[in-house]
Amino acid sequence: MLDFSEMNRILAIREEDFQADVEPGLVYQDLNEKLKHTGLFFPPDPGARATLGGMIANNASGTRTIYYGSTKDYVLKLSVALANGEIIEMGTRASKTSSGYDLIRLFVGSEGTLGVVVGATVRLAGLPAEYSAAIANFPSIAKAGRAVFEIIRGGLNPAALELLGPECVELMNREASLELDILPTIFMEFHGSTTSQLAEILQMAEDICGEQGCRSFQPGLGRAERDRIFQARHDLGEMIVRNHPDEHIKVMDTAVPISAYSEVIDAIDQEIDGTNLKTYYISHAGNGNIHLNILCQKGDRKLWGQIEEIVDRLVGKTLELGGTATGEHGIGLGKRKYMVDEHGSSLQWMRQIKSVFDPNGILNPGKIFPS
């Protein structure tokens, strides 16, 4: 285990270049706090107090990925310690380059299996001039999922589009003192240059939601209310764990093309309906990423096995639809069994790349590749 807690400095901020040089132990919220006075920010927002090094290793994303992209879109340069102790530099501070292989894209998302990030130059973005947010409630997750598709197809370009099941809303109400209707709910956010532009977009979003049977639409949330709701959304995973100390939690992280999103929702309904399973439906819906949380009493091995089978079938369905077993959490150990089905013969080339950088297999051993 490597401890980067003391390598947590911001080495430089170059406001005119929209760049910052950082160490891997720096927490991204601390970077954004430092940037507040500059009018800039680092957009990826995975929720928990993630470090930049961890975000790079996992290509972390979050609620705003649909608009701003994931961590890989913000890494310009890397300093990486290889297995043999050599430190290499890759990338450039230029905003674009066509020079040589893109090693940065190889290392971002490699889960520490190719090298250890010891420094990075990251791209920053300008804070939007105007924000607007809205809440929409629906009679079913399926109806909400269809609204998600239509919002994207309509070109509304949301900055965030989160879909939560009623069990999540109820928990957030209790834990964060919110007063939301306990129904399948979409939280949406839009960024723009003028309030009139955002008002027009919100009206279009309301019309789309109404066509999909929306029960209520609350537009124009103020900044404070928006922040409370999205903070509760970020804290939701911790809320679930805290409220179920005697249960194991199986978390799915599948992602599909947005055209297949409704089909995955249907598949989940078919698997869960008629069971007594306690679930929490959480989704970065705008990019088809679903975190289905399924609970199991600790010690109930039979039920845990049944849950594993359900998840295996849902992952299989996801792959059939052109999706992935992991949209943002990474492979680690638990999802290695899906690698062959997802990547086929290209997996052997990944193994060869691993052997070039880490011939003795000392970097994060056992991760990513099935035995």
The reported pTM is 0.93
Class of residue 97 by CB neighbours under 10 A (exposed 0-12, middle 13-18, buried 19+): exposed
Backbone angles phi, psi at 125, to 5 degrees: -125, 160
| Rg, the chain, Cα only | 21
Which residues, in sequence order, are bridge partners of residue 21? 12, 121
Question: What are the structural domains, with CATH classification, of the chain?
Answer: 10-126 (3.30.465.10), 128-243 (3.30.70.2190), 246-330 (3.30.70.2740), 339-371 (no CATH)
Strand 87-91's sheet: what is its strand order? Answer: 10-14, 19-22, 116-123, 75-81, 87-91
**Tokens representing residue 35 in the block:** 């940037």
Name 351's Cβ contacts closer than 8 Å, sequence gap at least 6: 369
| Backbone angles phi and psi of 324, in degrees to 5 | -135, 155
Residue pLDDT tens, the chain, 371 long: 889 999 999 999 999 999 999 999 999 999 999 999 999 999 999 877 899 999 999 999 989 999 999 999 999 999 999 999 999 999 999 988 999 999 999 999 999 999 999 999 999 999 999 999 999 999 999 999 999 999 999 999 999 999 999 999 999 999 999 999 999 999 999 999 999 999 999 999 999 999 999 999 999 888 889 899 999 999 999 999 999 999 999 999 999 999 999 999 999 999 999 899 999 999 999 999 999 999 999 999 999 999 999 999 999 999 999 999 999 999 999 999 999 999 999 999 999 999 999 999 999 999 999 98
